[in-house]
Structure 1
Amino acid sequence: MQFYKELQLSPNSLSMKISIKHIFIIFLLFFVSFAKAQKTTINFIENDYKLALEQSKTSKKPIFVMVYATWCPHCNKMKATVLKDPAVIDFFNANYINVMMDGESPTGKDFMKKFRVTSFPTFLYLNEKETHLYSTGGEFTSEEFISESKKALNPNTQLPYLESQFNDDIRNSESCLLYLNALRKSIDRDKTDEIVAKYLSTQPKDQLFTAINWKIIAFGVNKLNTKEFDFILDHQSDFAKVASPKRVEAKIVSVVNQSLKHNMESLDSIGYSKNRILAKNSNLTKVDSLVFKLDLQMYEACKCWDKYKQTTLESVQKWAWSDYKTINEITKIYIQYINDKEALQSAITWAKRSVELNDSAESNLSLARLYNKTKDKKTAITYARKTKNIITAMGWDTKEIDQFYLDLGIK
């Protein structure tokens, strides 16, 4: 009985023990919540690749670098969606030392130069020795992004392994295709033409035109000034039998577009002129139409208005006669930069065609402005009134047309 009494707790003692228990539970819940909160973002190191490299050497984890630009919509979308997905956060925090690199910062520019990064966003995977394991770019879903990032962790899908497999047996189409598939998404995609050249040099002439060889060419040929591109042009009908005429044509157009746009972006007029000649050798209507549009973009970028005028006068009716959007773009350039009277009369003809194709406010306003530029104020007023009627009916902002009314003296 005495023993039992000693075991009994006083009300105060019991209350104190219950309070301690409650405090412990509250503390535990807080700790768990805090721990979870710590995992709501990827542990990014901002713009400090050297620190990431040190941590990689210590932890033996590979490095993941996202190279972005603040103005890049694809970068911002990935940041706002995929990189905030809990599954993505857990995956990257568990497997990588993560770096967020602003490609326009001084550090970022140095990093891009070192690893030959040329586009945003680029996702680069390196080991502690700075070996390029894998890379890709663009937008992904969470599932796709994790899947791509797992390839950098798997020795059998890393670029060094795929390269060694290809070099061990250059004749092997499967190893070539696997290597090309990884390369063409990577920062080393400019190497694909060289890989295709090596592979094709090992193939018997009577076995060149196969479905697998076309796939290799489709994956790997990306430059105009190569023997491999000439080979496609010379054997379009042969490859069409194992692929299809549309696929062969689409590949040729893609190579032309990619090569000429690269020259345009760097304002390389000499390179553009050389590649343009090669492109025209394809004798494909779609290529000629594409080259016409790219010519105009190149001349606009270089402010070569005489060449712009000459090209449009020669080719609008051939390559843009059913394309009101292109016609409207051309007439806007004429309104702003071309003063030749005869050329402006041609532009009026094009603008009328645009109105026929699409009787829109934009088409009518361009026509009104062209008439005004050629001193035909009466006709300019007619089309200006028509433009305002369309804009008013649609409930759009009338600021631009109201200003043009003032310029024309319309009350």
Structure 2
Amino acid sequence: MKKLLTGIACILALSTSAQDREITFKEGDWKTQLAAAKKENKIIFFDAYTSWCGPCKMMAKDVFTKNEVADLFNGTFYNVKYDMEKGEGPALKDKYDVKAYPTYLFINGEGEVVHKIVGSMSAKEFITESNKALKPESTAFGLAKKFNAGDHSEATAVAYLEALEKAYESDKMGSVAKIYFDGLPKASLLEARKWELVQKYLNNPSSQAFAYLYANKAELGKKYGADKVNMYFENTMNMSVYSVKRAYEKKDNLNEAKEIAAAIRKLQAAKPTKGSAFMLAQLDLIAFAAANQWDKFTAKIDAVLADAGFPRKDQLVVTAANDVVTAAPAKYYPVAEKWANELQKTAGDFTNIQLTDLRKRILKKQGKTAEAEAMAAKAMELRKEAGKKGQMTPPMMKD
């Protein structure tokens, strides 16, 4: 019995010490780190994280502490990490266009990104993806050079698009997909292999290929199923409207955004989809907000509220009201509150929480701090009640 207990104790000791290494991160300012990595002739592994990011914490706890991961990174890379909301973090976030967390960058001694990984994953996947940094030609950045030099073969284009997708570079992916698919013979786009790739990567409605496919969606529906085909076009255009709005808000890639908006309008005019009214209303509101035409903006929402059959009315009005609070002059806040009161008459729990958040934002903007805090408490209570019912709750809007 004593020998058995001793054996069990040894096994437990071995199991607890089996994973005893982890990635070691260097400390210092970015300029110093970059110079040190260049001197050591190592690629920098740059962990871009935030203190509130759950997947970041999971990776640090469950992946960075695996021996095989630690051995690869400590022996191969120059490891650094920065909180994107503290110290040099915000400047580095902008410099390297970090949009999601966790983001893992691999940077050479010249400060150039040679590989990028976004999101959490298993240790095995992390090792596989990280090793690509040692072969830059297989990364999004290496494939970009190849593609931009004129290699638009399916092998190169698909590898590049796949790398961009993994790096969460959806806008860039759309631009590359447009070049690739627009360069193919039109009839080939209806073939099974190309249609499969289109659904995965072609997210740009201003593409000639997209327009051709949209014009031939009846034929596509016969071959691949009408529901699936219609869903592809609907989802792609809806996501593109969102990208147009984001571009206007950031004042970035505006020419491309205008092209996409014009393409959606043209396609919907030719063959309206179920979501046509919603999409076109969004594009109108985006244009009005960008031009500071808030009278036209508010008149549009008043018309939507008066239309009993308007689809997804609550979603459009709540979003528009928050846009008013974010960007419009203060004199329009009462209009947003009027919309909230109108929606309140038929609102479900989800929308009711959104309206409470909206009212909190209006009160805070008006300098009514105590009332805003009371409204925030009410919103929190509504979320708790919805949670007890097992209902989904909306994310909280920033003030």
Same structural fold, with TM-score higher than 0.5 when normalized by the shorter chain: yes
Residues 67 and 238 of structure 1: is their aligned pair in 2 closer, same or farther, counting only changes over 3 Å? farther
Q: Within 1, Cα distance between the matches of 2:191 and 2:30?
A: 45
Question: 1:310 — aligned with what?
Answer: 299
Superposition TM-score, scaled by structure 2 size: 0.61
Say if 2:149 is the partner of 1:153: no
Say if 2:100 is the partner of 1:100: no
Residues 89 and 286 of structure 1: is their aligned pair in 2 closer, same or farther, counting only changes over 3 Å? farther
Question: 1:203 — aligned with what?
Answer: 184
Shift of the alpha carbon at 1:83?
1.3
Question: 2:277 — aligned with what?
Answer: 288
Question: 1:133 — aligned with what?
Answer: 114
Question: SS where residue 170 of structure 1 aligns?
Answer: coil
Question: Which structure is larger by alpha-carbon Rg, 1 or 2?
Answer: 1
Letter of the structure 2 residue corresponding to residue 337 of structure 1: Y
Letter of the structure 2 residue corresponding to residue 48 of structure 1: D
- Structure 1's unaligned 5+ residue stretches are 1-35, 367-386, 397-411
Q: Within 2, Cα distance between the matches of 1:198 and 1:107?
A: 37
How many aligned positions are there? 328
Contact 1:222 1:259 survives alignment (8 Å): no
Which of 242, 245, 250 is the matching residue for 2:230?
A: 245
Q: Within 1, Cα distance between the matches of 2:207 and 2:386?
A: 54
Residues 256 and 168 of structure 1: is their aligned pair in 2 closer, same or farther, counting only changes over 3 Å? same
Contact 1:267 1:301 survives alignment (8 Å): no
Contact 2:204 2:260 survives alignment (8 Å): no
Question: SS where residue 61 of structure 1 aligns?
Answer: coil
Q: Within 1, Cα distance between the matches of 2:355 and 2:203?
A: 41
Q: Within 1, Cα distance between the matches of 2:259 and 2:204?
A: 12
Contact 2:45 2:78 survives alignment (8 Å): yes
Any idea what the Cα deviations from partners look like across 1:99-133, whole Å, max 9, x if unmatched? 21344557445544544445544321123454532
Which of 1, 23, 40 is the matching residue for 1:42?
A: 23
Residues 97 and 315 of structure 1: is their aligned pair in 2 closer, same or farther, counting only changes over 3 Å? same
Contact 1:123 1:137 survives alignment (8 Å): yes
Q: Within 1, Cα distance between the matches of 2:54 and 2:355?
A: 37
Residues 61 and 295 of structure 1: is their aligned pair in 2 closer, same or farther, counting only changes over 3 Å? same
Letter of the structure 1 residue corresponding to residue 157 of structure 2: C
Shift of the alpha carbon at 1:165?
5.6
Letter of the structure 2 residue corresponding to residue 186 of structure 1: A
- Structure 2's unaligned 5+ residue stretches are 1-16, 326-331, 358-377, 388-399
Say if 2:242 is the partner of 1:257: yes
Shift of the alpha carbon at 1:161?
4.7
Question: 1:62 — aligned with what?
Answer: 43
Say if 2:59 is the partner of 1:82: yes
Shift of the alpha carbon at 1:273?
7.1
Superposition TM-score, scaled by structure 1 size: 0.59
Q: Within 2, Cα distance between the matches of 1:39 and 1:299?
A: 59
Say if 2:41 is the partner of 1:52: no
Shift of the alpha carbon at 1:227?
4.2
Shift of the alpha carbon at 1:158?
2.6
